[in-house]
Amino acid sequence: MALFARHHGGYLPTDVWRWLAVIFARRLDEDSEVMIFVRAVANAMVAGVIARLVLFPTGDLVAVPLAIRVGAVAGGFLVYFLARRSMLTGVLAGEAIMIAGAYFTVAN
């Protein structure tokens, strides 16, 4: 019973807001200026997180040279566009470049 209460006590308060968002999102026009602004802010936040990871890494990423980190982002971005804006392909390409670069440059 305690596990049930702990589990539901954790997700129910946030789940209510998720369901309300689903209900109200049906009424939103995707091309409205508010939604365009929200998408722009979301994209800017993701770009900021990526920039922070590349320029100010923590953990094991510190050992990977800056050129490899920047090259992985640039390569993933290039593949994203070459693959007709396929997010999965771009991310996988960036990861592959990062892993290969780290493998060949970072001493074990």
Q: Where are the domains of the chain?
A: 2-105
Report the amino acid identity of residue 94: G
Q: What is the pLDDT of residues 28-58, one digit of tens each?
A: 888 999 889 988 999 999 999 999 999 999 9
pLDDT digits (tens, 9 = 90+) for 20-33: 888 888 888 889 99
pLDDT above 90 as % of the chain = 61
Q: CA nearest 64: which of 105, 108, 95?
A: 105
User: Which of 54, 57, 55, 59 is closest to 97 using CA atoms?
Assistant: 54
pLDDT of residue 84: 95
- pLDDT band at 79; cut points 50, 70, 90: very high
pLDDT at residue 6, rounded to an integer: 63
Residue 4 confidence (pLDDT): 66
